[in-house]
Amino acid sequence: MSANIGIFEPNLKAVAQLLNITLADEMTLLVKTRNFHWNVKGLHFSELHSFFDEEYGLLDESVDEIAERVRAIGEYAIGSLEEFKAQTRLKESLIKGLSAQEMLKELLNDHEFLIKKIRIDIEETASKYQDVGNSDYLTGLLKQHEKTAWKLRSYLE
Instruction: List pLDDT tens digits, range 90-134.
Output: 999 888 999 999 999 999 999 999 999 999 999 999 999 999 999
Considering the domain boundaries, does residue 91 fall inside one?
A: yes
Q: Are the C-beta atoms of 40 and 18 separated by less than 8 Å?
A: no
String of b and e for 54-72 (b: at least 16 CB within 10 Å)? Answer: ebbebbeebbeebbebbee
Provide the number of structural domains found in the chain.
Answer: 1
Closest C-alpha among 88, 82, 95, 40 to residue 63: 88
Strands of 8-148 (E only): list them: none
Closest C-alpha among 125, 111, 92, 123 to residue 19: 125
Considering the domain boundaries, does residue 64 fall inside one?
A: yes
Domain hosting 129: range is: 9-156
Give tens-digit pLDDT for 14-52.
999 999 999 999 999 999 999 999 999 998 999 999 999
Considering the domain boundaries, does residue 97 fall inside one?
A: yes
* C-alpha–C-alpha distance, residues 109 and 119, integer Å: 16
Considering the domain boundaries, does residue 1 fall inside one?
A: no
Considering the domain boundaries, does residue 4 fall inside one?
A: no
Global confidence as pTM: 0.95
Closest C-alpha among 152, 154, 56, 157 to residue 109: 152
Give tens-digit pLDDT for 63-82.
999 999 999 999 999 999 99
pLDDT at 148 over 90: yes
CATH of the domain at 143: 1.20.1260.10
Q: In one letter, which amino acid is 30?
A: L
DSSP helix/strand/coil, 40: coil
Considering the domain boundaries, does residue 126 fall inside one?
A: yes
